[in-house]
Structures are given as structure tokens and as C-alpha cells.
Amino acid sequence: MWKRGIGLALTAVLAVGTAACGNSSNNGEGSTSPSSPASGTASAPASQAPSGEKKVISYWTDDRHDQEYIKSLIDKFNAENTDNIQVELTVLSENFNQSVDIAFSSNKAPDMLRLKSANTGTFVKKGYLAPIDEYVTDEMKTKFSSLLLEGVNKFDGKLYSLPNSGQTLRLVYNKDLFDKAGIEKPPETLQEMVDDAKKITAAGNSEGAYGFALNFKNPKSAFERSVREILSLSGHQGLGYDFKTAQFDFAPYSQVIEYFKQMWDDGSILPGAETLDIDPMRAQFAAGKIGMYLSFSTEPGVYKDQFPTDIHWGGALAPTIDGKRDGTSEIVSAGTWLGISDKSKNKDAAWQFMAYMYRDEVLTAYHEQGFGISVVPSIAEKAKNPDVPGMEGFLVGDNDSIWPVSPTVTPEGANYGDAFFKYMLSGGDLAKVTADLNARYNDALAKAKEKGEVKAEADPSFDPAKLKTNS
Amino acid sequence: MNYWRRPFAFPKGVDQEMTRWTRLRENSLLLFPSVVLTLALGIYPLIWVLRYMFYDYPGYGEELFVGLDNFRRLLRDAEFWASVRNTFVFAGGKLLITVPLSLILAVILNGKLRGRHFMRAVFFMPTVISTAVISVVFYLIFNSYNGMVNQLLVRMHIIDSPFAWLGPDHAMMTVVIAAAWGAVGNYMLLFIAGLQSIPQDLYESASIDGAGPVQRFWRITIPMLGPVMQIIIMLAIIASLKGYESIMVMTEGGPIGKTEVMYLYLYKLLFPFATSGTPADQQFGYGSAVGFATALIVGAITMIYYWLSRKMNKVF
């Protein structure tokens, strides 16, 4: 009889456990239980609270580099605000987008989110974000006027976020290796870049130093921090899109790839670069093994904190295809910072915190402490240069500007990063690769337009040279 | 009394009192957890996949019914078919190393070798270690720019310049080695369990009849291990065809797709942001079709193997 008792007891335990599993499985797609945020702070949306009662605002971000500063601002806000609003910061170490998806599908969405250009559009489409038009004051509209852009922070005319800082793109080079190879200044044309890489490799090979590298483990990521910049400064959109025709045209892109392939064939690229992620590549640069690469303005911060280095290095404008700067170096990730969740029950309180964060003194300190380069004109004019070694090469100048947003589409088959990297490594017919990419990307664009997912209208008067006046 | 028809054996009186209804209720209660778990974690996702493979659905927003479009795309998707070919190469390579090696180790460590328990633990260790950790370590060992293997070979003057272990030409071989290293201990243990079920008197009588170790191995061990081996190889085939974790960490399917296997390709369609993609690359609809196709391929190969190996099941 006791056996039967144990059996039934076990069954009961399992049934209860199963019921618990069942609950978490009833939330539609992505129904696994939400992953715990890294910092472990409570992230349940604050309940409807009568005025005077404590309102908890949860803010999720994947920015780690500025978390101490943001935390200090939050502490100050929590202590000073008179409406009993408590902001809780959650820094997610990785899989930010996935965690946000899970949180929204399981009704555990945070009240506020860190928005980046890569995820804002998708979050808006998924209905995660609340428009902030009703909150934004006229003063703010004036302050940010030149930076409120459709497809960046505005979608279908509604505003979802405001800008703070952005990333400039530069050629990062090792001055010691340049000196050793007898090169006086960073390359200004792609041919110079190829020649310099060859010289650096010849001079440094015996010590394991090579002329060039990129994080080719993810070719698309590698090209989006290099080719993008070369193209935009040369007067072409950096992701293969042509604003004049509202079509993808990878012909200019392929011109740059040809030079990259030359460096590969010359043996000027660090061996094993095809397996390099960005951080191992930075570690190699910090160790003095790489002559140059191209990347975002996050690099000075990385070499200050993550990979401290003794080498002498600097940032310079990227080379252009033929030496002429017919466009501007694109400032990326520039139009968004904070956003309010559509599911938040305390949107007013969330906005109160958001307005606090967008005050001049906060934005200025953010720039001056080197967490990001301010793109807000009124801030950038007044603020002092950030105190981060190497940052002087990355500051916004006459040759930098925000570009209009190009449509994002997912084509059938290999993306342009993989397709071009395949050509770099194994050769083939570049014209054919380019034509194939054009066909597949434009096909995907046509389908996305038909479904109303993207808007792309030809602008025959588009002139990249005119972007310079906006900087 | 037929014990198999009832979950418990009760004293005679109780048994007689038990009605058919009580038994049914009890059986249902016992089956309930497994049934619910299977429905929630097995059947529901399956229905989900079977539905969405006919939709254009990026994971949010509008679900657009597209009929067989996803399957037409699958047929012309060169990347997918390349990943299928890579899967066969990866699985074949891994099996060729894993199965014989784990069998040999099992036979050696099943003998009366001194320190065999310790050695078993050592060989089994990789099974306990996280695949991600193993893969990171293998990456550090084999990468071209500062990997230990290259440094050693250069110092020994066997090579002059770094060898591209993870380059386009050799990456597959390297990920196979890493995967096999992680799997050998597991199958070794299963083989040891199989070996220990072989009656010792068979070996004794064979020895009396004058059979040497090699003869005993081929004439007794291998045939007697048949049914166990059939299952172990089947498990190994399925695991090899489905394995992608070590590849994801070491090469992420690269360089230029040379180590892209089916399940990694599928994973990237469903969770692009977990690798190098962005949320915009998510394709649940097409991913479901690919998921269905990969399941069919793995299922078909397993069935073919099971049919081909049916004789292994007949020991006597």
C-alpha cells in the first residue's frame, strides 16, 4: 500500500510541476520562460498606482560601458524626484533583443528600453514602443530638430525616441608599425591602403605583425564597419543602396571589395582573420600585430578599459575609392537612445525619467566622459572633448554626417557580407556576384514594399556632397 | 498474475476489489504528467512548425499564407543544400572517428587494466564539460594567429608560417576533431555497459577451445555487442546530424559557409541575433519549412540505417 502512496504522491508533484510548465507555455510564440536579466533586478511592470504611491519604472539596456554613470544618474533621480518614482536599471549582458522578445511575449516587459538603430524599427513593428509625441516639449523639438528623421526615430510620422550620441567610423592604425614600414600618414585612397598593408606586413612579418585585419568571422559585421565608411565618404550609400534610384546597387561596393581581395591575396591580412571576432581582433591590435583596421568610435574606450595597450595608435578618416571625398563619413546609431514601452502602465512617470535623462547637463557629461560622441548640435558645440586617449581622431567633424536611412531587407540566400567574403577568399566572377546580389536584394525590396514593410522612393536629386552642410 | 497490465501488485484481496474504473483512473493519473509534457513541449511546437511552414512570418506582425512558397525556396536554396552536404561530411567524419575509437577504448578499459576506473573518468570528462567551453578551448588551440598548435609546430620548425586550421580548407576537419573529442567518452561508456552484459563463460569456453584475443574480439565481442552497437551507432548518427553547438562557437558556420551544417543554418533563421544577425533577419516561416525538411532528412537517414543494420539485432 505504501508503494501506491508514494506513486500517487509523485504523480501529484509531477502534475503540479507540469501545470507550472503549462502556464509558461501559454504565451504564444517564444514561450519559454523569460531569461533572467543579468543584474537580477525585478523587472515586472509597475502596477497601476494612484498618485503619491510608489511607481517602479524598469529600464533595460545592453550598454555596459556607461552603466556606472547611468546608475549614478538613476540614483540621483530616485532620490530627488518628488513623485515617488523609482527607476530600476537592468543591464543585460547579451541577447538583449531575444530577452526583450521573451519579456514582451510573457507580459513582463520593462517600462523603458535602450533603443539602437538596428532594433528600433523592428520594435516599433512588433508594437513594443509607445510614441512620445504628446510628451515632447517645443523646446526639445527645437533642440533635436535636425535629428528627428523618419525611419530613424520617427515611424509613420510618430516619434519614438530622441538622439543622444552616435558612432563615427574611422580607420584605426598602429603608428609604430606605420613608422617601422616608413609610412608617413594614413592612406587616403584604397590603393594606398593596399600598398601600406603590404609594406607593414613586409616590415613586421618576422614579429607576427600584418598590415590589415577585420573581424571576418562575421563578414557582414566586418564590412559594415569598414566598407560602409569608405563608401559613404566616397559618395555612395554604405550598405549597397542607391537613394537616387531607390534600388540596391552593389557595384560601388564591389569596387572596394576588389581592393580587400588584393590585400588578402597579398598576404597582408592577419592569418586566421577569417575566424576572428571583434574582441580577439582588438586584442591582436592591442598586442601590436595589426597595422590597421576600420571601426566605430567605440575603439578608444575599448583600448582604455578592455584592452589597455602600450602601442601608439590613432584614428583617421577612412580612405576613399579614388582619394576624392564626394560624400561624408556616416555617423551611425545616432538617432535613438531611450524609448518607452507601449505596455508600460506608468508612461507619464517613464517620460519624467526620460526628460531627466535628456537634459543638457546629462548629455554634455555623457559626451565629455567619453561614453559616446554627441550628435546633438547644441551639446556638441559647447561640450569639451572627451578625456579618452585616441578619441580626438573620432570626433564629429566637417566630413561626418548622419545619412538618410536605407531600407533593411532580408534576401533569399547569402547576404552581401558572405557573398563578397566568399569572393575575397575563393575568387570567381565579381560582376556576376554583384549582379546576383542586386537581383536578390531588389527582389526582396520589391516584396517588402508590396507588403508595406518598407518605404523606398527614388530621390533623383539626392546629392551626397550636400550632406556635408548638415554636419 | 500478469504484472505488466497493472502498475502495482496488491495483496490478493485488494486486487480483487479493484474495479476496472479505479485502474483506469489510476493509469490516467500516472500518465497525465508525461502526456501533458509531451503535448506542451513536443506536440504543440510541432503543430506550430507544421502551420508556420506555409506562412511568410518574420516572428511578429502579419502572418501571410504563402502555400508552398517556402518549400519552393528551399529547393532552390543553394546555401541550405550546401549545409546538408556539410552535415554529411561532418557527421561522417565524426562517426568514423568516434565509433571505432570509443569501441577500442571500451574494450581496453573493460579489461583488468590497472587504473581503468580513473581512465574511464578521464575519457568521460568531456561529456560533462559544456560544449561551449570545449569549443572555446579548441578555438584557442587551433586558431591561426596565436593558437598553441601553430606555435608548437613553428617552434619545432615543422612549419614556417601559421597553418590555417580554421581556414576554408581545413575548418571542417578541425571542428570534426573537436566534436569527436567531446563525444568519444560518452559512447565509450555505453560500449562498456554493452560489454559487461556479455556473459563471461562465452570467453572462457572460447579460450578453452584455443581462441586468441583477436578471435575472441571478432567472434564473440562484436556479434554479442550487436544489438547494443546498433543502438549506439543510431544515437551517434542522430547526434552527429543534429550537432552544431561546437561549430557555432568555433566558426559560426564559416569561413565562407564551409562548416555551415543544417541545424546551424536553421538556428540562424530562427534566432539570428544569437549569432551575427539582427532581429530583422528572423524568418520563422521559412525557418519552419527548413526545420521540417531537416527533421525529415535526419528521420529518413535513421530509418535507412535501422533497416540496413537490422541483422545486428539478431545475436542468436
Q: What is the DSSP string of A393-455?
A: GTS--TTEEPPPPPPP---SS--HHHHHHHHHHH---HHHHHHHHHHHHHHHHHHHHHTTS--
Nearest-CA residue of chain B relative to A28?
A: B48
Query: Inter-chain contact B257–A275, Cβ cutoff 8 Å?
Result: no
Read off the pLDDT band of B4 (50, 70, 90): low
Per-residue pLDDT of chain A (471 residues; tens, 9 = 90+): 444 554 444 444 444 433 333 333 333 333 333 333 334 343 334 444 445 678 999 999 988 878 889 999 999 999 999 999 999 999 986 678 878 988 998 889 999 999 988 789 889 988 999 999 999 999 998 999 888 888 889 998 999 999 999 889 999 999 999 999 999 999 999 999 999 999 999 999 888 899 999 999 989 989 999 999 999 999 999 999 999 999 999 999 999 999 999 999 999 999 989 988 888 999 999 999 999 999 998 898 889 888 999 999 999 999 999 999 999 999 988 889 999 999 999 999 999 999 999 999 999 999 998 888 888 888 988 888 888 888 889 988 889 888 888 888 889 888 999 999 999 999 999 999 999 999 999 999 998 888 877 878 888 988 888 876 544
Nearest-CA residue of chain B relative to A95?
A: B274
Q: What is the pLDDT of residue B52?
A: 93
Mean pLDDT of B30-38: 94
Which residues of A are less than 8 Å from B281 in CB distance? 410
What is the value of ipTM here, to two decimals?
Answer: 0.81
Nearest CB to A218: which of B77, B144, B276?
Answer: B276
What element of type H or E holds A61? strand A55-61
B78 lies within 8 A of chain A by CB: yes
What pairs with residue A150 in β-bridges?
A154
Query: Inter-chain contact B10–A95, Cβ cutoff 8 Å?
Result: no
Read off the pLDDT band of B162 (50, 70, 90): confident
Nearest-CA residue of chain B relative to A123?
A: B279
Query: Inter-chain contact B77–A97, Cβ cutoff 8 Å?
Result: no
DSSP label of A30 = S
Question: How far apart (Å, rounded) are the C-alpha atoms in residues A210 and A385?
Answer: 32
Nearest-CA residue of chain A relative to B59?
A: A29
Which residues of B are less than 8 Å from A117 in CB distance? none
Question: How far apart (Å, rounded) are the C-alpha atoms in residues A387 and A374?
Answer: 14
Which residues of B are less than 8 Å from A425 in CB distance? 168, 255-256
Q: Dihedral sign, CA of A444, A450, A454, A458?
A: positive
Q: What is the pLDDT of residue B238?
A: 93
All residues at 6 or more sequence positions from A64 whose CB lies less than 8 Å from its CB, including other chains: A91, A93
Which residues of A are less than 8 Å from B146 in CB distance? 284
Query: Inter-chain contact B60–A118, Cβ cutoff 8 Å?
Result: no
pLDDT per residue over B119-156, tens digit each?
Answer: 899 999 888 888 889 999 999 999 888 889 998 998 88
Q: Please give the backbone phi and psi of residue A153, each rounded to the nearest 5 degrees, phi first.
A: -120, -10
Helices (H) and strands (E) counted in chain A, each on its own, are 17, 17
Window from B93-97, B210-214, B280-284 with minimum mean pLDDT: B280-284
All residues at 6 or more sequence positions from B313 whose CB lies less than 8 Å from its CB, including other chains: B226, B227, B230
Task: Tell me which residue of A425, A72, A431, A67 sits closest to A261, measured CA to CA.
Answer: A425
Calculate how close chain B gets to A418, using CA atoms only, in Å: 6
Nearest CB to B274: which of A98, A126, A412?
Answer: A98
A427 lies within 8 A of chain B by CB: no
Query: Inter-chain contact A97–B273, Cβ cutoff 8 Å?
Result: yes
Question: How far apart (Å, rounded) are the C-alpha atoms in residues A153 and A151?
Answer: 6
Q: What is the pLDDT of residue A8?
A: 46
Q: What is the pLDDT of residue A333?
A: 83
Q: What is the pLDDT of residue A304?
A: 86
Mean pLDDT of B30-35: 94
3-state secondary structure of A147: helix
Compute how many other C-beta atoms are within 10 angstroms of the C-beta atom of residue B238.
Answer: 16
B2 lies within 8 A of chain A by CB: no
Compute how many other C-beta atoms are within 10 angstroms of the C-beta atom of residue A436.
Answer: 16
Query: Inter-chain contact A413–B254, Cβ cutoff 8 Å?
Result: no
- B residues 255-284 near A, CB within 8 Å? 255-257, 271, 273-276, 278-281, 283-284
Q: In what order do the strands lie in the sheet with A169-174?
A: A210-212, A290-296, A169-174, A313-316
What is the pTM for the complete model shown?
A: 0.80
Nearest CB to A425: which of B139, B252, B256?
Answer: B256
Q: What is the pLDDT of residue A457?
A: 85
Q: What is the pLDDT of residue B216?
A: 87
Q: What is the 3-state secondary structure (H, E, C) of chain B?
A: CCHHHCCCCCCHHHHHHCCHHHHHHHHHHHHHHHHHHHHHHHHHHHHHHHHHCCEECCCCCCCEECCCHHHHHHHHCHHHHHHHHHHHHHHHHHHHHHHHHHHHHHHHHHCCCCCHHHHHHHHHHHHHCCHHHHHHHHHHHHCCCCCHHHHHHHHCCCCCCCCCCCCCCCHHHHHHHHHHHHHHHHHHHHHHHHHHCCCHHHHHHHHHCCCCHHHHHHHHHHHHHHHHHHHHHHHHHHHHHHCCHHHHHHCCCCCCCCCCCHHHHHHHHHCHHHCCCCHHHCCHHHHHHHHHHHHHHHHHHHHHHHHHCHHHHCCC
Strands A247-248 and A338-341: unpaired
Return mean pLDDT, chain B: 88
Q: What is the pLDDT of residue B157?
A: 87
Nearest CB to B36: which of A22, A270, A280?
Answer: A22
pLDDT at residue B315 tops 80:
no
